Amino acid sequence: MNYQKAILITFLGNYLTNTVVAALIALIPASATPGMLTPQYISFVVLSALVVAGLAMWFGVRDLKAGAIFGVLGFVLALLVAFVSGVAGVLTQTGSLSQVLQVIPNFGPFLLSWSTLVLFGYWVIPSALIGWWNSRKASPVPAQM
């Protein structure tokens, strides 16, 4: 598996889900009830999963293991980008390292939220399914007697 290529493609996927998919989903009217089971949130997860599946196909995952590795790389990269973006944003807005040190502990509750589990799901599940599907297509069919 070409890890450098996988990291670049998952970085592209993170950009696409966080900007393009989010912009498209913003066209859906907001729900009156707050929570995770709103039309916008469900649409975001479904469309993000489709984007990740397309990227996994483009990358060419060949089996379940490669698909799972690709998905985990995307998930970890998304968390790293969120962390670096948060720290850089606070540093840029305040210009104070002490403010950055006060914000870093807030990343822990973010990691323990349902959104992180959803992020893991829409990166790993579609990638693994594409790998599983590709391994089924590649395996020879046993001859019938």
CA distance 123 to 93: 31
Residue 145 falls inside a structural domain? no
Give the structural domain span for 66.
Answer: 3-29+36-136
Number of domains in the chain: 1
Is residue 142 in a domain? no
Q: What is the DSSP code (8-state) at residue 71?
A: H
Compare 53 and 144 and report the one with higher pLDDT. Answer: 53
pLDDT digits (tens, 9 = 90+) for 12-68: 999 999 999 999 999 988 888 887 788 899 999 999 999 999 999 999 999 999 999
Evaluate if pTM is beyond 0.75.
Answer: yes
For the chain, the C-alpha Rg in angstroms (whole number) is: 18
| DSSP per-residue letters across 74-139 | HHHHHHHHHHHHHHHHHHHHH--HHHHHHHGGGHHHHHTSHHHHHHHHHHHHHHHHHHHHHHHHHS
For residues 67-84, average pLDDT: 95
Is position 81 within any domain? yes
